[in-house]
Amino acid sequence: MVGRHSVAIGAGLLVLFIAVLSPFIFITSFGRDGQLSVTMYTLLWYWSIGPSGSIHFYLHDAWAIVQYLPFVGFRFPFAYLMMRYYEGKTTGERLILAGILGEVPPYLVSFSLHVGPFFSQIIGPLPLHLLAGLILVKLRPPPTITSPWEVHE
């Protein structure tokens, strides 16, 4: 049987892994000729589909990772609270609040960006780390903690 601490660490690492690799923003734009281009950014890489249909995949350099860290950094407390949730040291409400707050910075930036002369649409992040955490909690609920006093009553 797997111990509670091992499950907590596994859950936290899984959510952290998804938080780092999941996209934090999508940008779609139409050029002058009406052709669509799509770009998706994550902390470590991004890909884009150009107007001609060409697909480009790029790894970020260290400077870009540092620049994008504020977008993804707010997701890290969710992974930490996921571990604490499986250890029975925090509530589900705090866990969900941390997951929601992890998605706020990209939305704030998307609302403040200037739309250029051509139609652009910035689509906020898909909260994949939040969805993965909620699915994990549903599939494998944390163990219930009983106090020794309840056993003797």
Two structure tokens written together for 40 = 């998706």
Which residue type sits at 65?
A: I
Buried-state track 38-51, b at ≥16 Cβ within 10 A, e below 16: ebbbbbeebeeeee
Question: What confidence tens digit (pLDDT) does each residue in 67-103 have?
Answer: 989 888 989 999 999 999 998 899 989 999 999 898 8
Q: How many domains does the chain have?
A: 1
pLDDT at 34: 74
pLDDT at 85: 92
**Weakly modelled stretches of the chain, pLDDT under 70:** 1-2, 110-125, 145-153
Query: Comparing C-alpha atoms, which of 77, 22, 28, 76 is closest to residue 44?
Result: 22
Q: 103 is in which domain, residue-wise?
A: 4-152
pLDDT at 140: 86
DSSP string, the chain: ---HHHHHHHHHHHHHHHHHHS-SEEEEEE-TT--EEEEEE-SSEEEEE-TTS-EEEEE--HHHHHHHHHHHHTTHHHHHHHHHHHTTSS-HHHHHHHHHHTTHHHHHHHHHSPP-SS-EEEE----HHHHHHHHHHHHSPPPPP--HHHHH-
